[in-house]
Amino acid sequence: MRQRRKYGTVETIKLLEQFEKIEELNDIKSEETPGKISILSEDIRGVNAIVYFTEAGNNAEQKISLKKVETPDGKMWKVALKKEEIKMIQNPGI
C-alpha cells in the first residue's frame, strides 16, 4: 500500500487508510495484486476524469475516478476515490 500512495489524492489516501484500519480491526487481509489492466475508454472533463477498464481474469467493465492535481513535478493525474467507489472496487459485480 505504501508505494501506491503516490498515485492517490490526499483525500483518497485518507479514505483508504480508514478502510485499512477497519480491515485490521476485523482481521481481514486484502493484499491482492491486480491483474493486467486494459483501458477501454476515458471521459475527461477539465481536471476530473473517469477511466473505464477491465482487469485480466475479470471481463466486467470497471471504472475509476481521477483528478489532475499539482505536484512538485508538475500536474499529474491521481486516483480520486469516493466512499461509494471503494465497495465497487472490493466487489466489482456491484
Interatomic CA distance for residues 75 and 94, integer angstroms: 32
What is the pLDDT averaged over residues 48-71? Answer: 92
Given a cut of 90, whether residue 76 has pLDDT beyond it is yes
- Structure-block grid coordinates of residue 68: 489532475
- Split into its structural domains, the chain has a count of 1
What is the per-residue pLDDT across 6-20, written as a single tens digit (0 to 9) for each? 889 988 888 888 878
Q: In terms of residue numbers, what domain contains 20?
A: 3-90
* pLDDT range class, residue 87, cuts 50, 70, 90: low
Given a cut of 80, whether residue 56 has pLDDT beyond it is yes
Contact 70, 47 (CB under 8 A): no
Helix (H, G, I), strand (E, B) or coil at 49: strand
State the amino acid at position 27 in one-letter form: D
Average pLDDT, the chain: 82
Interatomic CA distance for residues 71 and 11, integer angstroms: 15
Can you give the pLDDT at residue 61?
93
